Structure 1
Amino acid sequence: MRVFVLGGTGSIGAAVVRELVSRGHEVHGLARSNTSAKKLVDTGATPVAGDIASPKRWIGALPHLDAIVHAACDFGPAMGETDCRLLDVLLPALAARPRKSRFLYTGGCWLFGATGGDVATEETPFRPLAAFAWMVPNLRRVLGAPAIDGIVIHPAMVFEPTGGVFRRFAHDARERGAVRVVESEAVRWPLVHCEDLATLYALALERAPARSSYVGAAIEGLAVGRIARALAKRFSTPQQEPQIISTDGIAAELGEWARGFALDQRLSGAKARRELGWMPKHLDPEAEIQMIQQ
């Protein structure tokens, strides 16, 4: 397939680009800088100059496409408006093309709110974090658009040993001498390694029926304190006990979207395993953290 990836140099998108290229797909990616363009070229993709905030400037430069993967988000205060504007331009442009395209839209685990003792699935009603409430009507718009084959992926918390949602922990360990967690060590995060998530995107692109949704959770829920302690141990921080920061404190530091770090969640990826044959491989993040090269 010829696939266009939005966000192809981000935590999710870069892994998706690598996975699609390895499967023999022809990948094009949006690049807002020369640095981003080089990253795409280095992974075997063809860059298209542009920014998600100004889709009218690059929409006419797109080649014929079989599929689009939308994994872009700038986490700024206008991210909802930016996404709406992007869909306002992109969906009509795709509808005007002679062949229907597949469209993979990225939702997220924070759309389900705190789950407590329950395990959220694709059937769980949304209770979105306020900063991401805009995403619910947008994903429904994608699923309901008749001119495309819309599919939604809801990633769990995306990690690498020192990247993704673990990046802040690793930075704390190196620069602060202690790892901070939001609200409580007992808060549970559903997790997925970026490589496993990329495999899910590829499988959904190749196999998923139109208007379907999948939760990308490889690990149902892991207490955040265990992650913080594993990183503190690996980096031999002066303070091994995690420091607690309030939800208001992390929001003041990073933005309102960061309140999601305090959500206690459990999510199931069983549907993706059952219907798409998804088989995540990275199921022990604590062991991977201990393998970090310093």
Structure 2
Amino acid sequence: MRVFVTGASGWIGSAVVDDLLAAGHEVTGLARSDNSAAALEAKGARVRRGDLDDLDSLRAGAEAAEAVIHLANKHDWSNPASSNAAERNAVQTIGDTLAGSGRRFLLASGVAGLSQDRAATEADPSPFHGPDSPRGGSENLALEYVERGVHSVSLRFAPTVHGVGDHGFIAIIGAVARDKGVSGYPGDGSTAWSAVHRTDAARMVTLGLEKAPAGSRLHAVAETAVPSRVIAEALGRAYDLPVASIAPDDVPGHFGFIGGFFAMNLAASSTATQELLGWTPTGPTLVEDIDAGAYSKF
């Protein structure tokens, strides 16, 4: 299958490209820089230059492909409105281009906001609608295109897609621990995150491309709930730091923007996804990765 991938040189996207190529698909990746383009070409992928603001490039990439996997996001935490607008515009451009074709459109989403009192499931609809909502309401927008003849599928990633080289949320929490001299966790440490190893997430995306029905919501989740205290204890071992509770009122000041996420319950299951796709995560757990030194070089 000819697949156009945005975010193709990113943390998740680069692993997805590897898995797609290994499965025999023809990949064209969106690349902003010469380095990203060279990395994609070295793998055997084709390159389309552009970024999320280059809607003409997104349109052309979608027109030439049999499927689109949209993984790019600006992730500008200092200006979320800009990130949300770019995401919505990109999804609308791709959706409009694919309308009436029956071609596949998989897009990255997340489990945040689905549930706070239990593990979120694939049956939980996203509560985010409209351009001013998180990620510009892109999951619901993409799924609306099913009625317009697009084979849309939501890829909900765990808040930590971990592994050696990860610069995401766990790396940021680790950086806070080193800066503060203590590996902290919010309150009593009972809030929990779901987690998945990068290679497992990539395998799920490929299987989702090949098998998921239109309108599916897939969960890239291997561990349903890793308590924040357990994460902090593992980072404390990695950095030889004391571990301590951070009072809820002090969480924003101690952790910065990441504190709001670390204090949230972002647990999620993937039972339905595993059964649908025949997908079984086999990579290391989050704590195994931390204990093995995956975050010790930052």
- Correspondence 1:7-26 to 2 at 5 A: 7-26=7-26
Deviations 1:174-223 (A, max 9, x none): 55543344455222111111111111101000111111111221101011
> Whole-Å Cα distance in 2 between the matches of residues 247 and 268 of structure 1?
27
> Whole-Å Cα distance in 1 between the matches of residues 259 and 176 of structure 2?
16
User: Could you say which residue in structure 2 is the equivalent of 1:95?
Assistant: 99
> Whole-Å Cα distance in 2 between the matches of residues 4 and 103 of structure 1?
10
Deviations 1:24-43 (A, max 9, x none): 21111111111222232233
User: Could you say which residue in structure 2 is the equivalent of 1:273?
Assistant: 274
Query: Quick check: 2:29–2:40 contact (8 Å CA) kept in 1?
Result: yes
Query: Quick check: 2:62–2:97 contact (8 Å CA) kept in 1?
Result: no
> Whole-Å Cα distance in 1 between the matches of residues 129 and 251 of structure 2?
13
Query: Quick check: 1:187–1:223 contact (8 Å CA) kept in 2?
Result: yes
User: Could you say which residue in structure 1 is the equivalent of 2:150?
Assistant: 148
> Whole-Å Cα distance in 2 between the matches of residues 61 and 67 of structure 1?
10
**What is the count of residue pairs matched by the alignment?**
285
Aligned-residue offset at 1:281 = 0.9
State the AA in 2 paired with 1:95: A
- How has the CA–CA distance of structure 1 residues 54 and 180 changed in structure 2, closer, same or farther, with 3 Å as cutoff? farther
- How has the CA–CA distance of structure 1 residues 103 and 39 changed in structure 2, closer, same or farther, with 3 Å as cutoff? same
Tell me the C-alpha RMSD between the 2 structures.
Answer: 2.9
User: Could you say which residue in structure 1 is the equivalent of 2:163?
Assistant: 160
State the AA in 2 paired with 1:142: A
Identity %: 27
Query: Quick check: 1:113–1:129 contact (8 Å CA) kept in 2?
Result: no
Aligned-residue offset at 1:95 = 2.9
State the AA in 2 paired with 1:94: L
TM-score, with length taken from structure 1 = 0.85
User: Could you say which residue in structure 2 is the equivalent of 1:209?
Assistant: 213
Query: Quick check: 2:128–2:137 contact (8 Å CA) kept in 1?
Result: no
Aligned-residue offset at 1:290 = 2.1
Q: Does 1:111 align with 2:113?
A: yes
Query: Quick check: 2:108–2:154 contact (8 Å CA) kept in 1?
Result: yes
TM-score, with length taken from structure 2 = 0.84
- Correspondence 1:78-89 to 2 at 5 A: 78-89=82-93
- How has the CA–CA distance of structure 1 residues 162 and 169 changed in structure 2, closer, same or farther, with 3 Å as cutoff? farther
> Whole-Å Cα distance in 2 between the matches of residues 12 and 91 of structure 1?
22
SS of 2:152 mapped into structure 1: strand
State the AA in 1 paired with 2:233: R
> Whole-Å Cα distance in 2 between the matches of residues 131 and 137 of structure 1?
6
- Correspondence 1:174-193 to 2 at 5 A: 176-193=180-197
User: Could you say which residue in structure 1 is the equivalent of 2:40?
Assistant: 40
> Whole-Å Cα distance in 1 between the matches of residues 98 and 127 of structure 2?
30
In structure 2, stretches of 5+ residues that fail to align are none
Query: Quick check: 2:126–2:140 contact (8 Å CA) kept in 1?
Result: no
- How has the CA–CA distance of structure 1 residues 140 and 126 changed in structure 2, closer, same or farther, with 3 Å as cutoff? closer
> Whole-Å Cα distance in 1 between the matches of residues 4 and 252 of structure 2?
38
SS of 2:112 mapped into structure 1: helix
Aligned-residue offset at 1:132 = 8.3
State the AA in 2 paired with 1:65: A
> Whole-Å Cα distance in 1 between the matches of residues 92 and 223 of structure 2?
35
> Whole-Å Cα distance in 2 between the matches of residues 162 and 178 of structure 1?
22
